[in-house]
Amino acid sequence: MTIVRQVESRAGAQFNIHEVGSRGEADLLVCKVDSRRDAVRNEGCWCFVDSMMDSPVTVHFLDNRAGSDFLICYVDTRGEAGWRTEHPYAGKLL
């Protein structure tokens, strides 16, 4: 389950990520979902929450790709979401 909390501090994040505009550039295709249930078993389906207590994953969005752990691109459907490539962080977001 990928329950995500966005943090303002780079140091306070488990993962520093950068959003790209093209699927071809992304490591991970992400579909934002409203329900935690929809985020189960798919690292590409992210349910954003405000509470640190509810979130096992914290991310910080970087303005550029330098220093990012991975690149994401938002997609419209859950079926499109997931890792595009083999990546060292695959399996670490569940």
For residue range 54-76, what is the model confidence (pLDDT) as tens digits?
Answer: 778 999 999 999 999 999 999 99
Model pTM score: 0.91
pLDDT at 39: 63
Report yes or no on 11 lying in a domain: yes
93 inside domain: no
* Structural domain of 45: 2-83
Q: Which residues pair with 46 in a beta bridge?
A: 2, 32
Q: Which of 91, 4, 78 is nearest to 44 (CA)?
A: 78
Residue segments in the chain with a per-residue pLDDT below the cut of 50: none
Q: Dmax of the chain from CA atoms?
A: 34
**Sequence-ordered list of residues with C-beta below 8 angstroms from that of 4, at least 6 positions apart, any chain:** 46, 47, 48, 49, 55, 57, 58, 59
Residues 61, 8 contacting (CB under 8 angstroms): no
Q: How many domains is the chain built from? A: 1
Residue 90 inside a domain? The answer is no
